[in-house]
Amino acid sequence: MHIAICENDVLTQQYISNIIKGWARSKCEQIDILYYTGAETFLVAWQDISFDLVFLYVDISDNTGMSLAKIIRSTDKNIMLVLITYFDQYVLNGYDVNALHCLIKPLSASKLLPVLNNAYMIYRSRQKAMVVVFDDNGQMKLPCCDIFCISMLSHTAIIQTASSEYRLRKTSKELSDMLPKYFIRCHRSYIINLLKVEHIGKSSLALSNGKKLPISRNNAKTVSDAVNKLYMKCI
C-alpha cells in the first residue's frame, strides 16, 4: 500500500507516520510512506509514483492544498484523499474532491485509526474483487473498481466501465451477493459503485464519467447515508 503525507509541519508528518507504521504492523501489511512539505514537490513525484492513499493538509490562508486536491482528483478518480485541517469548513469542500475523510486538528490515534481501517477496506476490496464477464475473446476477470454502474434489464445485467460494456445473465440478488460493499442500489434499475459517485442530489446522482442516474424515493436515504459513511467522516 503506497501512502503519501503532504504536510508542511514535519512534526505532524512524523506523528502521522508513526501511527500508520504501528497500524500496518498490526495488519501485517507492507506499506511505503513518502513525505512532502509542499504541493510542487508532490506533483513532481506523483508523475512517477502511484499512490493509494494521500494525507493532505489544507489551510484557509493558503489555497495550494485545496488546489492540489482538485488537480489530483481531476487526474485520478480512485486515489483516496484524506484532508487535514484546522477548519471545519473544509468538511464541505471535501465533497468537491470526493475526499475519503476530513480530519480536524489536533490529530490523535483515535481519529486516524478509523480512517486507516476504512481506507484499508477499500484498498483490499480493489485488490481482490473481480467479476467474471465475457467479451469477444471469451471469458475475462473484470476488477470491480473499474465498474461505474450496472443497469438491470429483466434478468440481464449491463455492466458499464469507462470504455466498455458487458452483459451478464444475473439477477440483482445474485449480483448483490457477488459485489463488494461499496456497490449499492440507487434505483430498481441501477446499481452504482459508490467510489465513482461525483455528486449526489435529492433525486439523482452523477458519476465521475459524467453519467447521471436517478435515485428512487425509497433508496434516497440509503444512498445518502452510504455516501456519507464511505467518504466523509469528520472526526
Sequential pLDDT tens for the chain (235 residues):
899 999 999 999 999 999 999 999 998 888 999 999 988 899 888 878 889 999 999 886 677 888 999 999 888 877 999 999 987 776 666 777 888 999 999 999 999 999 999 999 888 777 667 888 877 777 788 888 889 999 998 888 999 998 899 988 888 888 878 888 889 999 999 999 988 888 888 899 999 888 999 999 999 999 988 877 765 443 3
Q: What is the model's pLDDT at position 162?
A: 87
Q: What is the model's pLDDT at position 235?
A: 39
Q: How far apart are CA 159 and CA 97, in angstroms?
A: 25
Same structural domain, 208 and 146:
yes
Same structural domain, 217 and 143:
yes
In a domain, residue 235? The reply is no
Task: Give the three cell numbers for residue 34.
Answer: 513518502
In a domain, residue 180? The reply is yes
In a domain, residue 163? The reply is yes
Same structural domain, 205 and 152:
yes
Taking CA atoms, 185 is separated from 40, 113, 115, 233, in Å, by 40, 29, 25, 22
pTM of the predicted model as reported, rounded to 2 decimal places: 0.61
Domain that holds residue 191: 130-230
Of 104, 127, 150, the one marking the end of a domain is 127
Q: What is the model's pLDDT at position 129?
A: 74
Same structural domain, 150 and 108:
no
Task: Give the three cell numbers for residue 90.
Answer: 473544509
In a domain, residue 82? The reply is yes
Of 127, 142, 174, the one marking the end of a domain is 127
Q: What is the model's pLDDT at position 21?
A: 96
In a domain, residue 225? The reply is yes
- Decide if 81 contacts 58 (C-beta within 8 A): no
